[in-house]
Amino acid sequence: MPAKLHNRLADSASPYLRQHAANPVAWQPWDAAALEAAQSLQRPILLSIGYSTCHWCHVMAYESFEDPATAAVMNARFVNIKVDREQRPDLDRLYQQLHQLMRHRGGGWPLTAFLHPDSQVPFLIGTYFPPEPRHGLPAFSDLLQQVADFHAEHAEEIAAEKTAVQALLTRIEPQQQALPQHDLIARALADYRLQADRNHGGLAGAPKFPQAPLLRGLWALRTHDRQSAALVAEALAGMVHGGLFDQLGGGFFRYAVDATWTIPHFEKMLYDNAQLLPLLAEAGQDAAQQAAFSRAATLTAAWLARELSTSDGDFFAALDADTPAGEGAYYVWTPAQVEAALPSPAATAAIRAFGLDGPANFEGRWHLTYRQALESPPSEALEQARQALLQRRQQRPAPARDDKVLCSWNALTITGLTHAAARLQAPGLDALAAGAHRAVRARLWDGEKLSAGWAYGECQQERFLNDYAYLLEATLARLAAHWQDADLQFALALADQLLADFEDTTRGGFFQTPATHEPLLHRARPFEDEALPSGNGIAAIALLHLGHLLGESRYLDAAERTLAAAGSAMEAAPLAHATLLRALDHFLRPPPVVVVRVAPSEAAPWQRVLTEHGAPGYLIPPQATALPGALAARAPRQHAVAYLCRGLHCEAPTSTPEALAAALAAPVGDQPAGSAAPNASR
């Protein structure tokens, strides 16, 4: 029998768990000791999953977890476990999926689940519960007693559900089928046209999320249907023009609570901004709103550097929605505050431009939107007003920051900064990306395996599919920006470990967790996009790029198996699998991959051609050594030489940037990737 349980969160490597260290609840982290205590005491587990910047997590903590009477019931009848969903996405995904199956609707945070102590099967699951009955929900304290009584009377029946629950989770996974074809991409684009909000951009309805993986997928597939590019531009314009974008400080909030992008939920997440940053930079090249999109990308990158960058160069996770003055208080204004911060003419212009001359839109105050035409960049005077208001805002009590470093989110940021730097011709952004890549590798790679995150001076033990897939993609982006032999070796190590530790060699695709991970109710293969892009989709894209670059069939075969494994899921819900649709398009119609053997002093005109054509390109100096396979055959010559391949077909080498540009502009038919290594010497 374990000793009396006490709150064990004070030394946790999670800002979210530490927020609950002073609760009177005897919170445990999810670990062997907590699970063994539940089994020994035969008490149900009360599992609470959230994250540090979650507004409703804070509300439930204040109302219930800080209440001594409620805590007394929790401590007497449950083993209470807190989980940071950002550090344990495996647990979050498992119990969110079970919430959807049991409640027939999506979950959210805080997630509140009551589990059998031996089987870890949930027998009741929900999200937020209030302290008093309201909105059709029972009082949390009453629910606790009812649930504990139910478990005491039905423990054996609950435990017996484990096999059935595991079978159900396995049964709803996609079944392998023939590889999807381009008609699925056409159907996805048609579905989006039907669901798009043509008044405000994005998907119709509220709340309104950025849907960054979906927009990224639509943009990548725009050559199939030019209207998709216009729809992406409409969505981005709504966000940039509205309140989802921080008009003073840059960066995007997590979502808008309305259908017009006006009032956000005020937390800011690294992952949203990491994905929207390159999309803005790329979409600005083709859109009428180029100045606005480029400006938003630049301000977003500046926000990342100013408010989320660590001293080592990588990035913290998020900013909270709340301050002591309330949710959103840091960001909202009154006309009087603007007038006090600016001289009269500038104040009048700012009030008009940011919408303070209309009705208050947030609890008697104004959250800023941008009222001027997006095609017109702000005047110099308005830009000076923005900077002055930002400086005044920085004197307010700032939202709390989640000071953990997550591998997968940083990898998305490295990729985003690298692509944005190339599109915007911004060396400063490239330097940020390079510094973050060095920092992540130094902090989270021990020479053999990755760690999913770092906080309070220690790395967490877990590692996940997204860590490897996203960082492989980021490393390939860095190779394309600035070739380093060491980065190529790092990419190979990541790819090989991805295949060795995560691939489902029987059915295809990749598991969320490695084979050495603790056993849970189910070992999932996540194919759908959520707020983050599908790890399977990014893995397939990165492996296709690496396989074509090196002429390595192992990587191409693994990507093809992934697409076949996800086929039935993609067919059932195309828009939910936009990242895998990008991978499918890469497989069926491989983009050009260019290797240029050129001295750094001669590289600039070649890089301009690659940037203009959006082609994955690698500028390899003549002194690069230990190049494997096909790369070794693409040898340097007396003068610069470019090798252009599409899938299994390679063109004759070209010796001038103009000739390469002509080759990239030439029309080509579909070139299936196949599984055989390309002949690099052709």
Q: What is the mean pLDDT of residues 373-381?
A: 77
Note the pLDDT of residue 449.
Answer: 95
Residues in Cβ contact with 632 at an 8 Å cutoff, skipping those fewer than 6 apart: none
Answer yes or no: is pLDDT of 540 > 80: yes
Q: Distance between CA 352 and CA 348 in Å, rounded? A: 6
Question: Whose CA is closest to 502, among 90, 189, 109?
Answer: 90
Q: Is 292 exposed, middle or buried (0-12, 13-18, 19+ CB in 10 A)?
A: buried
Residue 283 has pLDDT above 60, yes or no: yes
Does pLDDT of 671 surpass 50? no
CATH no. of 182-321+402-588:
1.50.10.10
CB neighbours (10 Å) of residue 123? 20
Q: Reduce the secondary structure of 409-432 to three states and give it as a string.
A: HHHHHHHHHHHHHHHHCCHHHHHH
DSSP string, 110-149: SEEEEE-TTT--EEEEES---SS-BTTB--HHHHHHHHHH
For residue 669, name the pLDDT band (cuts at 50, 70, 90). Answer: low
Q: Give the model confidence (pLDDT) of 77-95 as tens digits.
A: 999 999 999 999 999 999 9
Write down the pLDDT at residue 117: 96
Cα(630)–Cα(625) distance, integer angstroms:
13
Among 174-178, 327-331, 368-372, 578-582, the least confident range? 174-178
What pLDDT does 682 receive?
27
> Residue 631: which pLDDT band, with cuts at 50, 70 and 90?
confident
Strands 28-29 and 79-84: parallel
d(CA 8, CA 29): 7
* pLDDT at residue 374 is higher than 90: no
pLDDT at 285: 74
For residues 253-265, average pLDDT: 96
Residues with Cβ < 8 Å from 253, sequence gap 6 or more? Answer: 243, 244, 245, 246, 264, 265, 266, 267, 268
Q: Which of 471, 487, 494, 431 is nearest to 619 (CA)?
A: 487
pTM of the predicted model over 0.85: yes
| CATH 3.40.30.10 domain range(s) in the chain | 15-171
Q: In angstroms, rounded to a whole number, what is the distance separating the alpha carbons of residues 267 and 262?
A: 15
178-192, 295-309, 378-392, 662-676, range with the lowest pLDDT: 662-676
Residue 36 CB: number of other CB atoms within 10 A? 13
Q: What is the pLDDT of residue 680?
A: 35
Distance of CA 76 to CAs 32, 218, 244, 300, Å?
Answer: 20, 52, 44, 48
Residues 6+ apart with CB under 8 A from 408: 271, 452, 464, 466, 467, 470, 471, 532
Tens of pLDDT, residue by residue over 228-250, are: 889 999 999 999 999 999 999 99
Closest CA to 613 of 282, 118, 210: 282
Is the backbone peptide bond immediately before 110 cis, with ω within 30 degrees of 0? yes
Question: CATH top-level class for 592-665?
Answer: alpha beta
Whether the pLDDT of residue 678 is over 50: the answer is no
**Tell me, what's the pLDDT at 481?**
94
- Can you spell out the DSSP letters for 156-212? HHHHTTHHHHHHHHHHTSPPP-SPP-HHHHHHHHHHHHHHB-TTTSSBSSSSB---H
pLDDT band for position 287 (50/70/90)?
low
In the DSSP assignment, the letter for residue 284 is T
Higher pLDDT, 375 or 346: 346
**649 forms bridges with which residues in the sheet?**
646
Residue 1 has pLDDT above 70, yes or no: no
All CATH 1.50.10.10 domain ranges in the chain, comma separated: 182-321+402-588
Angle 491-493-591 (CA atoms, 0-180°, nearest 5)? Answer: 35
**Would you list the DSSP string of 377-398?**
PPPHHHHHHHHHHHHHHTTSPP
> pLDDT over 70 for what percent of the chain?
96
Provide mean pLDDT across the span 362-383: 87
**What band does 681 get if pLDDT is binned at 50, 70 and 90?**
very low
| Residue 529, C-beta contacts closer than 8 angstroms, at least 6 positions apart | 213, 214, 217, 537, 576, 577, 578, 579
Q: Once rounded to an integer, what is the mean pLDDT over residues 430-451?
A: 97
CATH number of 15-171: 3.40.30.10
Report how far Cα 29 is from the mean position of its chain's Cα atoms. 25
